[in-house]
Structure 1
Amino acid sequence: MLIVTKKLIFSVGEVWFDEEPGEIHDVDALHYMQWTHPIESVQSDEFHTRLIDLTKSHDELYESIGKNDRYKIRRAEQKDDVVYEYWEQPDSDIIKIFSDFYDLFALQKDLSKMNRSRLKRRAEAGVLDISCVKLKDGSPLVWHVYYRSKNRVCLSYSASLKKNDDTSYQSILGRANRYHHWQDMVRFKNSGIGIYDWGGWYVGNTDREKLGINEFKEKFGGEIVKSFNCYRGITIKGKLYLKLLKIFKELPFFFKATLQRRLPGL
């Protein structure tokens, strides 16, 4: 399935998980996301992620989670009294509510704002899945957004707002996020989806925050796999886009963050 999003002046298509794009119209460049093998004669980057086999039994999946994390999941459900909601076909209102929340999260984390056009295009294609865990009063704690195909879901965005001066809230937030992932996994499993994709795995050893995220993911089990993100320029504009993309990837983090804040369509 081909999904086309506008990025500044460029029309960029994306196809996932070895699916062929079919007929290509009005597209400057193509992103082949998480393909098993690199595509010959096009720009390719290695991509690592962690996958969980949802065809295992409910008990096997649950026992794969670390003991302390299973306790936090139970406590979130039984004592924190949190509420799990999901939208397999989110409408524009839900997309806006999530995007507004994400933009606040991005401000905390020095990230770019949400590309709302990308979410809209995925929703129109029927591959967008959104879920949220809230407090009983309706206040959102954590949002998750997935790219959802027939047999695989890929975590695209996870957002929560920290209150570093409130340790009790931070504890609830940590438990809610674990509970959230578990509820998502159970829901996808019950829908017949076979693979839960964490959406990335950091292979370096210097970024402490990313290593911490790896540690969180590892507690749910699964295995690390390597795939490839490949990029093909279709038009002259598309080839220019890929050159600019390559330059952007080589920039220091500070400059990347600054550009993304000023140009959220990147």
Structure 2
Amino acid sequence: MLIVTKKFIFSVGEVWFDENPEELSNVDVVHYRQLLHPIKGGQSDEFYTRLIDLTKSHDELWECISSNDRYKIRRAEQKDHIIYEYWEKIDSDTLNDFSDFYDSFASQKGLTKINRAQLQNRADAGVIDISRVKLKDGESLVWHVYYRTKNRVRLLHSASLKKNDDTSYQSILGRANRYHHWQDIVRFKNLGISTYDFGGWYIGNTDREKLGINQFKEKFGGEVVKNFNCVYGITLKGKLYLHLLNVYMRLSQLSLLRKPYFLSHTQTQEKIEAPASSEVEFSIPEAQRE
């Protein structure tokens, strides 16, 4: 699947995993996400993530989860009276509901708001899967957005809102997050998808929040793998794009230049942060680690 967007004067393609699009003549540059190997002649950064093998049996997947987390999942299902729902065909109302919620989450966490144009473009290409856990009264607890292919799903966004003055709510939220991931895993397995991708793994040792996110993911089992994010210029304009990107990256290290408007937040974050942080395009709130 090749997803094409226009950025300033450049036509930019997006390809995930090791898919091989048949036609690249209509793009200047291609962003390859999470390849097994770097592309010769392109610019590549290492990207680590955690994968769960969904070809295992339901019981095997369940036993891979820590006993404490299995308890919290059962309690969420039996006592918290929460509701799990999902959308495989995404309409504008669902996108707007999620995006509004995510923007509130981003404001609370000091993150950048969702790139609505990029999300819409991916949804139009039919590769977005959205799920939510909510309370009986309809209040949203957690939203998940995935990039979904025939064999692999990759968590792009996870959002929930904290209520620091309500410890009971925080406890329910922590259990709901675990329940949400488990329900997604079971649903994707039942659809015949073979790999669940948590969307990143922090390989450093200094950021306590990211280390906490690692611990949360680790409790679901799976293994850490190394992928590569690559950018490859096809046309002369594409090579110019890469040159400008390189200039920006060098200057940005000195905080001398603001982000040029032909680069999306996701692209600049991947180039700047991927070597040091694998939490690109994806954040898990603290409640998931409680």
TM-score between the two structures when normalised by the length of structure 2? 0.84
Within-5 A mapping of 1:1-266: 1-7=1-7, 10-246=10-246, 251=252, 265-266=264-265
The AA in structure 1 aligned to 2:129 is D
Which stretch shows the higher mean deviation, 175-184 or 228-237?
228-237
Checking the alignment, whether the CA contact within 8 Å between 2:146 and 2:154 is kept in structure 1 is: yes
Shift of 1:48: 0.6
Q: Distance in 2 between matches of 1:176 and 1:107?
A: 21
Encode CA deviations 1:80-130: one digit per residue, 9 max, x unaligned.
110000001111110111011111111112221111122222222211100
Classify 1:138/1:25 alpha carbon distance in 2 versus 1 (closer, same or farther; 3 Å). Answer: farther
The AA in structure 1 aligned to 2:201 is W
Q: Distance in 1 between matches of 2:98 and 2:245?
A: 27
Q: Distance in 2 between matches of 1:7 and 1:215?
A: 37
The AA in structure 1 aligned to 2:172 is I
Shift of 1:244: 4.4
Shift of 1:239: 3.1
The AA in structure 2 aligned to 1:172 is I
Which stretch shows the higher mean deviation, 135-144 or 16-25?
16-25
Structure 1 gaps of 5+ residues are none
Classify 1:10/1:159 alpha carbon distance in 2 versus 1 (closer, same or farther; 3 Å). Answer: farther
Classify 1:165/1:255 alpha carbon distance in 2 versus 1 (closer, same or farther; 3 Å). Answer: farther
Structure 2 gaps of 5+ residues are 266-290
Q: Distance in 1 between matches of 2:94 and 2:127?
A: 15
Q: Distance in 1 between matches of 2:24 and 2:262?
A: 26
Shift of 1:10: 3.8
Q: Distance in 1 between matches of 2:256 and 2:89?
A: 36
Classify 1:63/1:16 alpha carbon distance in 2 versus 1 (closer, same or farther; 3 Å). Answer: same
The AA in structure 1 aligned to 2:20 is E
Q: Distance in 2 between matches of 1:233 and 1:194?
A: 31
The AA in structure 2 aligned to 1:114 is I
Q: Distance in 1 between matches of 2:22 and 2:36?
A: 18
Which stretch shows the higher mean deviation, 225-234 or 141-150?
225-234
The AA in structure 2 aligned to 1:56 is K
Encode CA deviations 1:5-47: one digit per residue, 9 max, x unaligned.
3445543211111111221244232111111111111101111
Q: CA RMSD in A?
A: 2.3
Shift of 1:148: 0.4
Q: Find the residue that maps to 1:27 and give its secondary structure.
A: coil
Number of residues paired by the alignment?
Answer: 264
The AA in structure 2 aligned to 1:170 is Q
Classify 1:105/1:5 alpha carbon distance in 2 versus 1 (closer, same or farther; 3 Å). Answer: farther
Classify 1:102/1:21 alpha carbon distance in 2 versus 1 (closer, same or farther; 3 Å). Answer: same
Encode CA deviations 1:37-81: one digit per residue, 9 max, x unaligned.
111111011111000001111111001000110011011111111
Classify 1:255/1:163 alpha carbon distance in 2 versus 1 (closer, same or farther; 3 Å). Answer: farther
Checking the alignment, whether the CA contact within 8 Å between 2:143 and 2:158 is kept in structure 1 is: yes
